[in-house]
Structure 1
Amino acid sequence: MVELSHQLLGATPFMPHGHCYLWKTGLVGLHVASDSLIALAYYSIPVILICFVRQREDLPFPKVFWLFGAFIIACGTTHFMEVWTLWNPDYWLSGIIKAITAIVSLYTALELIPIIPQALALPSPAKLEAINRELEKEILERQKIEEALKAYMEQLETSNRQLEEFAYVASHDLQEPLRKILTFGDRLKTKCDTTLNEQAGDYLERMQNAAKRMQILINDLLTLSRINTPTSGMKTVNLATIISEVKGDLEVRIEQLNAKLEIGELPTLEADPTQMRQLLQNLIDNALKFTPPGGKPHIKIYSHPYKNPDGNFSEIEEYWQIFVQDNGIGFDEKYLEKIFIPFQRLHARSEYTGTGIGLAICRKIAERHNGTITAKSSPTEGSTFIITLPINQTKKGQLT
């Protein structure tokens, strides 16, 4: 090792390169200046390349740029050694550096061969400019579409608001003539009950029943129209408290039907308390209503964090699912969408009362709370309604 270092940097039998130039000052100076400037230029190029590569993270073929840098530094070092050997005959060291330069140069050339087709496939500046023009054109067209869509949405929102206001006013104004029909029908029945024949009494009874159904229908329409109107706003709501209030409201009916309610753990979330009460009351009321004759309603209400489609609980528990399960008559799931459409009924009015609007109200409430409602059922096997709601209305997660 010592001998090798002596050969590389120590005394050698060779004479310095300057002897070849007879130590002529002009000639030696010319070679020193030329090789020094070439070495300086070679060393400055990699610095520029490094700055360029670091600022352009999307640069293609970064490895080639680093190889070019190594190749140029090696070339610069060979010129530096040309100056060095003018006075120091370290030709072994100079030869090793040249060999390294040759290896790096060859490796760089070999690396260039496979990327030539990729480099040729890169778009030319003219083509890039054409692509940019096309993109700008598409962006302008998309902006126009978005502006048109925004205007359409504003128009649709205005139309919906006007429609809701109309439904509210129309429904409210219909209440007064209906009350008169029912009031004067009652007076007529009281005053003329003994004088009316059987057919006239039947007509009067039908008229009053129709008026009562119309009154119920108008009240349901009023409820539906109010769902999207401004309310007291979203609050932190404990659904266990809401369900307790609903149970109290339906206490008489529950006792009459000898129904059993099992209430599990329910979450606290951000919601409109009035609409949450209406949602749960509609579902429990349905469960009590659609029970086979002579049957005893058995209703289970429970909840858990939202489950992904694979059946696992969501890691981000930003949604909860509330289940209302009954042992009623059930329905065929091919009618699943139909039951949430206003006025759509699966049974005759003579079998089960109602206007067919309750579940439509439930869906509208769930959607207003950025949630969903669906159901699982089969005939005679009962139904399970599933409401999925976010815990927080302002920072809700995404359903997967």
Structure 2
Amino acid sequence: MATREDRSKAPLVAADGTPLKEALRRSQAIERRRAFALVAPLLFFLLIVFIVPIIAMMWRSIYNPEIREYLPQTASALSAWDGEGIPPEPVFQAMAADMIVGVENRTIGRAAARINREIPGARSTMMRTSRQVDEWSAPYREKFLEEDEDWANLEFWTILQRESRLITPTYYLLAMDYEYNAQGEIAPRPEVYQIYRDLFFRTAWMSLLITGICVMLAYPISYMLATQPARISNLLLILVLLPFWTSLLVRTSAWIVLLQQQGVINELLVGLGAIDSDGRLRMIYNRTGTIVAMTHILLPFMVLPLYSVMKTIPPSYLRAAKSLGAHPFRAWWRVYFPLTIPGLAAGCILVFILAIGYYITPALVGGDSGIFISNLIADNMQGSSAQLKLAAALATILLVAVLFIYWLFNRLVGVEKLKFG
């Protein structure tokens, strides 16, 4: 018979005789597989409609197959060119062969358009030569140079060689207002073409300004909602949520009616004598219109997180601070405000990220000075293949900037402390 000491040393087992640790491990593994099976449809959905499109966009921004696809022999011949002087005869012979095939397949125009974006006038040179090259015979180098002196342009061949690479950072350089010069070096673009960095900075500071205005407006509104009786606060909360029940296009159009020079606000100011009829304020189709309209649209996204946090703060905290001799403002600043930071931080990150990628409202009320980088991305999405790649590069930079802001916010505040509702 086993003694009590022997029984205490024996391993614990389940009802079926399996060691308890092994049975527990199996049970936990089954639960994990079951949990994964429940979330697998959502993960698959996110993979198909979110992750794959983003990866495809990023790949498009660096993948550059046009020259290799439309001028394959030329691209191969240029890979051996040292970049010194006019290319040798094999390069011109390859260009002639590609032009003959391109005319038959009607693809030479696409290759010419791609180079024309880098060198204006290159398309007409290539198209004019391609119509005659099938009548030529070797040697081709002299015939090309006799046909058009632009074929002796070293910059043309340097760019053609550079764009023959399948993977290129060209569009990211353009997105940051840089480009390759004739020597193949990275240099700033001419000042007249430097628009992308300005748009990035404009988008950033206007989004910060809109977020700040939303904080100043939402904080007292949320405080009032949280401190009123339930019957009144519920009614006021419905008024806050009312914009969500109205079309975004309708809300933006309403601001156009209100802010235009012949609109309601200007007419009211003229009627009150605050401004002259000839001195009407221009509040639409500029930055002012964008800031006003977007603040109105994004304000509920700041109110709701703040209200959800303020509602959980007992009013007795402020009364206790005041009873201990604290000034009302000091009591609010030292006791109440720190407790609202999780909701305030959640509202700020939500409003800022929504604002930095907004498109419809700046497009309708922004004019030339109030549009965001998202509007330029949308314009490029409707253009040629090169413009699509530029749009993908701009969108990727914007995505990386938002992720960096989110990471920085997490380091400073901590995402786990946020309360969205």
Which structure has the greater CA radius of gyration? Answer: 1
When normalised by structure 2's length, the TM-score is 0.24
When normalised by structure 1's length, the TM-score is 0.25
Higher strand residue share? 1
Structure having greater relative contact order (Cα 8 Å, sep ≥ 6): 2
Higher helix residue share? 2
